Amino acid sequence: MFDKLKLSNNSNNDLAYRSFGGLRSSGLTERQGVFMFSYFSQVKAKGGKLLFAALVMVLLMGFFAGCDSGSDPVFTTRSTIPNELLGRWVDPVFEDGYEFTSDTYKQFSPEMEWDGVIYPGLEKTGTVRFVTMFDSSSGVIIFEYTSGASDVSKPFSAAYFRDLTSTSVRAGIVINLTDYSSVDVATLEEASVKFTYDTRGNYIGSWGGPYAKQE
C-alpha cells in the first residue's frame, strides 16, 4: 500500500504512487506514393515509353523512402542491467528510489506520514532475469522477487525506465491502475509476454522521479 501513496505539495498529483510507470505515444506513418496513378493519367509522354519508365522509377523511389520512416523501433534484449543504469538512484524530495547491480534489483522507500497515518519504509529485492532496451534511454526490467513479493506464488514482476542519462532517470514498478493491486505473474514466460513496450501504458500510470544518481 505504501508505494502508491506519496504527498507532494508542488506536484500535479497530490495523491500519487511513486512507482515506475508510463504512457505510450504512438502514431501512424503517412504513406507516400498513392497519388502516382492519378498523376500518370495526366502525363503526356514526349519520349514514349522511356520517359514514362523514368517517371515510374522516380516516384517509386520516393514512395519506398517514405515508407521506411514508419518502421517499428528495434529492441535489444540482454540478461543484465546496462552499465548506464548501475548504482543507486534517489528522488531528492521523497528519498525513495532504486538500486541496481548487474543482476539484482532493489526498490526502497523511507518511513513517512500521510494524513495522520504512519507508513513504514519498504525494501523489495529481486534477481534480474532479462532487460529489454527500447532505445538507448528506456526499457523494461523483468525480475524475480527474492524479498517483498505481494504473493510468493507469483514472484515475477517488471520495472520500466525512461529518460536515462548519466545523472538521472525516471522509472516505475508495474501495478494495477484501477485498484493498485499486484499484477505479478507466476512464470518468466508470462512476464515476458505481459510486460512489453506495447503494454506499459496498461501498468504504469505515473512515472516516479526523476531519480538522481548517487556517487
pTM of the shown model: 0.68
| Residue whose C-alpha is closest to residue 72's, from 22, 134, 23, 130 | 134
Longest dimension (CA), the chain: 86
Least confident of 10-14, 45-49, 158-162, 187-191: 10-14
Q: Residues 114-120: contacts with CB within 8 Å, 24+ apart?
A: 114/5, 114/6, 114/7, 115/7, 119/1, 119/2, 119/5, 120/2
Q: What tens digit of pLDDT does each residue of 125-147 get? A: 999 999 999 999 999 999 999 99
3-state secondary structure of 68: helix
59: CB partners within 8 A, 6+ apart = 33, 36, 39
Residue 56: all three cell numbers together: 515510374
pLDDT of residue 36: 29
CB 106 within 8 A of CB 171: no
27 pLDDT tier (thresholds 50, 70, 90)? very low
Kindly list the domain boundaries of the chain, sorted by start residue: 2-27+73-214, 30-69
In angstroms, rounded to a whole number, what is the distance separating the alpha carbons of residues 15 and 30? Answer: 40
Residue 60: pLDDT above 80? Answer: no
